Amino acid sequence: MPVRWGILATGQIAAKFTEDLRLLPDAEPVAVGSRTVEAARAFADRFGVPRAYGSWAELAADPDVDAVYVATPHSAHHAAALPCIEAGKAVLVEKPFTLDVPTAQDLVEAARRRGTLLMEAMWTRCLPAVHLIADRLAAGDLGEITTVQADFGFPGPTDPAHRLRNPALGGGALLDLGIYPITIAHLALGVPDTVAASAQLTDDGVDTNTGLLLGYASGAVALLGCSIIAGTPCRAAITGTAGRIELPERFHRPLGFTVHRPDREPEVVEAPFSGWGFHFEAAEVGRCLREGLTESPLVPLATTLETMAILDTARAELGISYEKSGRTMK
């Protein structure tokens, strides 16, 4: 039986995810939920989804939905995911998981109480190229890791109401883009011992150009950057005492990578990729459901919480806060 998906939200990311479900023989979108039935119906008509709901609660209550993909803006992730968890659905929540550690922990605890599958949609960790990199790191191919460098930036919108510029929607470079360099650093080095941050902030307190320096007890460092005002190389490198892995432009969705070792020719490694790349995370949800898992080994909930803790620490240092449901997230 295919995994029957409910799509919660109707924006660009939801559309790409739904398109990619067509690449999986054992998955199908059966329902979509939005804040208005008009938006849900338009989305359903576009993608041939059988049912459209004008509320998140109706989607969560649909007995024919096995898994829900939450694709709202960051600020609504907690409110959207919680009723789906409580309804016993498997839930895949777009990155960043929530706005801070307490709300992320709340979802994790709710899923554990209910015994349901919960996973952050950090699609980068589900991509074949990243699997291969993780295998090489685990095998010690690069020796002791000393440095991770990664950046992600593009010239983004200037409208203060846009979600990337709106503090009420969790706007800024850090949550939307910075999570990708942090993910690569975590993949290679795990949890840092120190986090230092510097950023350019708007008058509304939204970070537009941000740098992070993560320090580790081993002496390793991660130099990370993100920007919504300028295009950066969008590359990443993991360096160790025995070699270096370089990920090319658009490192967050790699088609492969290059391994550099002393006194050897560079090794170019290619990996499968198709569609938008979102079906890999959907396939992981399906695999976990069929194996009776309540969390993914590829994107463990502990990793999600550790990544969110790095974001929280950086935000605190930068003095950034977000508004959600009348409550300041600090």
Mean pLDDT along residues 313-324: 86
Q: Are 108 and 301 contacting, i.e. CB atoms less than 8 angstroms apart?
A: yes
| 139 and 117 fall within a common domain | no
| 140 and 68 fall within a common domain | no
Tokens of 141: 């191919």
Mean pLDDT along residues 48-54: 98
Does residue 166 carry a pLDDT above 80? yes
Does residue 114 carry a pLDDT above 90? yes
| 132 and 82 fall within a common domain | no
Instruction: Give SS3 for 38.
Output: helix
CA–CA distances in Å: residue 49 to residues 24, 42, 62, 71: 15, 10, 14, 16
Q: Give the structural domain span for 118.
A: 3-124+278-292
Residue 303 is assigned to a structural domain of this protein:
no
Q: Could you tell me which of 58, 29, 57 has the C-alpha nearest to residue 44? A: 29
Residue 34 is assigned to a structural domain of this protein:
yes
- Total count of domains within the chain: 2
How far out from the chain centre does Cα 226 lie?
A: 15
Residue 263's CB is within 10 A of a number of other CB atoms, namely: 4
Identify the pLDDT of residue 322: 82
Tokens of 325: 């449901």
Mean pLDDT along residues 69-77: 96
β 322-324/327-329 pair status: antiparallel
Residue 302 is assigned to a structural domain of this protein:
no
Does residue 327 carry a pLDDT above 70? no
CA–CA distances in Å: residue 186 to residues 54, 90, 162, 308: 38, 25, 29, 11
Mean pLDDT along residues 70-84: 96
Long-range contacts of 100-103 (CB under 8 A, 24+ apart): 100/308, 100/311, 100/312, 100/315, 100/322, 100/329, 100/330, 101/305, 101/308, 101/309, 101/312, 103/77, 103/78, 103/324, 103/329
Q: Which residues are catalytic?
A: 95
Identify the pLDDT of residue 323: 63
Does residue 326 carry a pLDDT above 90? no
CA–CA distances in Å: residue 171 to residues 161, 245, 325: 10, 31, 15
Does residue 325 carry a pLDDT above 60? no
Does residue 328 carry a pLDDT above 60? no
| 20 and 133 fall within a common domain | no
Could you report the per-residue pLDDT of 224-263, keeping only the tens digit for each?
999 999 999 999 999 999 999 999 999 999 999 999 999 8
The CATH number for 197's domain is: 3.30.360.10
Question: Which alpha helices (DSSP H) does the chain contain, by range?
Answer: 12-21, 37-47, 56-61, 77-86, 101-114, 128-139, 173, 179-189, 279-290, 301-318
Full-model pTM: 0.95
Residue 301 is assigned to a structural domain of this protein:
no
| 194 and 322 fall within a common domain | yes
Mean pLDDT along residues 218-222: 98
The CATH number for 68's domain is: 3.40.50.720
| 113 and 140 fall within a common domain | no
Structure confidence at residue 321 as a pLDDT band (50, 70, 90):
confident
Q: Are 217 and 207 contacting, i.e. CB atoms less than 8 angstroms apart?
A: no
| 73 and 90 fall within a common domain | yes
CA angle centred on 49, ends 47 and 53, rounded to 5°: 120
Between CA 86 and CA 111 the distance in angstroms is 8
